[in-house]
Amino acid sequence: MEYDLDSGAHSVYALHYHLILVTKYRQNTFTPGRSDFMRRVVEGFAENYGVEIKNFEGDRDHVHMLFKAKPTTDLVRFVNTLKGPSARRIKNEFDLDRELWGDSFWTDSYCLLSTGQVSLDALKQYVEDQRG
């Protein structure tokens, strides 16, 4: 097996995540221009956390983000910091009062999934094969 690994002072790692953010009440808020704006905002916040955005796409009511992080990255803090300021930035840039109900832009929840470079089955087999 070959991995695309990063390294720190005392570690070697490959930490990739899939984040899904949904607009409040699934409002159809994202147009191509707004989605591009949000991508730039997210990339700016990611740099502050040492996170590398690998892919950012979405639909009218949600976004998907694939990113790499470090073992020291506080993921909950990153996501919450991302949600609040990104909502303020897009609401300030575009007049969304008629499209949104209330002050919220994102739902309170989010979906964060860890991803791997190999399947779980392949990893289990690799570990089992280490028995000598």
pLDDT interval class at 39 (50, 70, 90):
very high
Convert the pLDDT of each residue in 61-119 to its tens digit: 999 999 999 999 999 999 998 999 999 999 889 888 777 777 789 999 999 999 877 77
Residue type, 76: V
Residue 1 lies in a domain: no
Contacts 24+ apart (CB under 8 A), 116-123: 116/14, 116/16, 117/3, 117/4, 117/14, 117/16, 118/1, 122/1
Residue 125 lies in a domain: yes
Residue 103 lies in a domain: yes
Element spanning 90, H or E: helix 75-93
Contacts 24+ apart (CB under 8 A), 24-27: 24/100, 24/101, 24/102, 24/104, 24/105, 24/106, 24/107, 25/101, 26/61, 26/62, 27/61, 27/99, 27/100, 27/101
> In the predicted model, what is the mean pLDDT of residues 42-69?
92
Residue 35 lies in a domain: yes
Residue 102 lies in a domain: yes
Residue 103 structural domain:
6-131
Residue 22 lies in a domain: yes
- Count of domains in the chain? 1
Residue 125 has pLDDT above 90, yes or no: no
Residue 117: CATH number of its domain: 3.30.70.1290
Return the ∠ at Cα 76 (arms to 23 and 79), rounded to 5°.
35
Residue 18 lies in a domain: yes
Residue pair 79/110 in contact by the 8 Å Cβ criterion:
yes
Residues forming a β-bridge with 90 = none
In the chain, what percentage of residues exceed pLDDT 70? 94
Residue 12 lies in a domain: yes
